[in-house]
Amino acid sequence: MSTQKHLTPRVWAELFLLALLWGAVFFANRIALDEIGPITLVAHRTLWAALLLWLMILATRTALPRSPRLWGAFLVMGLLNNLIPFSLLNFAQLTIESGLASIFNAATAFWGVLLAALFLPDERLTLAKTLGITLGFIGVATAIGLSHLTALDPHSLAQIAALLATLSYGLAGVWARKHLAGCSPMVASAGMLTCTTILALPLAHVTEGPISLSLSASTWAAIAYASILGTAVAYLLYYRVLAAAGSGNLLVVTLLIPPVAILLGTIFLNESIPPRAYAGFAFLTLGLIVLDGRLLARLRFKKPT
């Protein structure tokens, strides 16, 4: 983990806002999926988000990316950080509850630590990290349920899809560290989303039919939220919080997203997730606490009064 930073009230507010933005994406996606397909939703989400970011880049006169190597890095990031995980999570939400999908999404942090240790020379797999990762994947297995681990029914496949999405996110984090260091966050986000759109539009056309703009008001509202607030604005806020709080403190967001998604799903979608999902989330939370390390360090060195 990187050196921890002190969290000011403003940073705490931004952490909660980021969790709210991303947590509500699961709710918005579920609404949109009632009318459009999973990959079509990805195309809409990335297209409008990319357009907004390019407008901001032009308005701020930020230097445009011209290097073919950089655009190649954007293409891979578009696959690993957008097209693959967005599509898998959308597919999963056709079957499983939005709150449950958000719990599986928390596994991203564990894949990120494990893959960084495997592929980045400056990241070591310490005993604490190993324990945290183990607890995290116990949480995932608990949330899936022992009876579903070997089954291939639609519910199990949806849960596996959600888990594979987090693996893709983890790979994206490693790729970004190796190939996008020093790139402007706004430019990196816009380039990545543009490449995703270029890939998603024809893929959606082939697999789900022509993309229609004649959609219901609720679907457009869901798309607008997922693309503008849940993607473009959330990416910018993410990098702002990362700079102010550090990567370790961003684990807090991972813990705050599921409660938001579960609450929205319960109130507006009448969803009810099984008790094992809450037990799994408890293990995930414990794993993230171990990965973070600060709470355990305080308990270890706390002097008796």
The single-letter DSSP state of residue 232 is: I
Nearest to 159 by CA among 111, 115, 107, 112: 107
- Asked if the structure places residue 164 within a domain, the reply is yes
**Is 86 a residue whose pLDDT tops 90?**
yes
- Asked if the structure places residue 124 within a domain, the reply is yes
Q: What is the mean pLDDT of residues 3-26?
A: 86
- pLDDT single digits (tens) 35-64: 999 999 999 999 999 999 999 999 999 999
Q: What is the mean pLDDT of residues 7-14?
A: 87
- Asked if the structure places residue 234 within a domain, the reply is yes
- Asked if the structure places residue 174 within a domain, the reply is yes
pLDDT at 305 (0 to 100):
53
pLDDT at 255 (0 to 100):
87
Mean pLDDT of the chain: 92
Percentage of the residues of the chain whose pLDDT score is greater than 90 = 78
Q: What is the mean pLDDT of residues 105-126?
A: 91
Q: How many domains does the chain have?
A: 1
Q: What is the mean pLDDT of residues 206-225?
A: 97
d(CA 149, CA 228): 36
Q: Which of 25-34, 138-147, 249-258 has the highest mean predicted lDDT (pLDDT)?
A: 25-34
**Is 154 a residue whose pLDDT tops 50?**
yes
Confidence grade of residue 295 (pLDDT, cut at 50, 70, 90): low
**Is 198 a residue whose pLDDT tops 80?**
yes
**Is 89 a residue whose pLDDT tops 70?**
yes
pLDDT at 2 (0 to 100):
44
- Asked if the structure places residue 185 within a domain, the reply is yes
pLDDT at 280 (0 to 100):
95
Q: What is the mean pLDDT of residues 106-118?
A: 93
pLDDT at 3 (0 to 100):
46
Flag the least confident range among 8-22, 163-177, 244-258: 244-258
Q: Got the DSSP string for 26-66?
A: HHHHHHHTTTS-HHHHHHHHHHHHHHHHHHHHHHTTPPPP-
- Asked if the structure places residue 146 within a domain, the reply is yes
Flag the least confident range among 2-6, 101-105, 124-128, 212-216: 2-6
Judge contact between 197 and 50, C-beta under 8 A: yes
Confidence grade of residue 5 (pLDDT, cut at 50, 70, 90): low
- Asked if the structure places residue 229 within a domain, the reply is yes
Angle between helices 251-268 and 108-119 (to 10 degrees): 150
- Which carries the bigger pLDDT value, residue 72 or residue 250? 72
- Asked if the structure places residue 3 within a domain, the reply is no
Judge contact between 93 and 115, C-beta under 8 A: no
- For residue 19, the enclosing domain spans 9-301
Which strand (E) or helix (H) includes residue 214? none
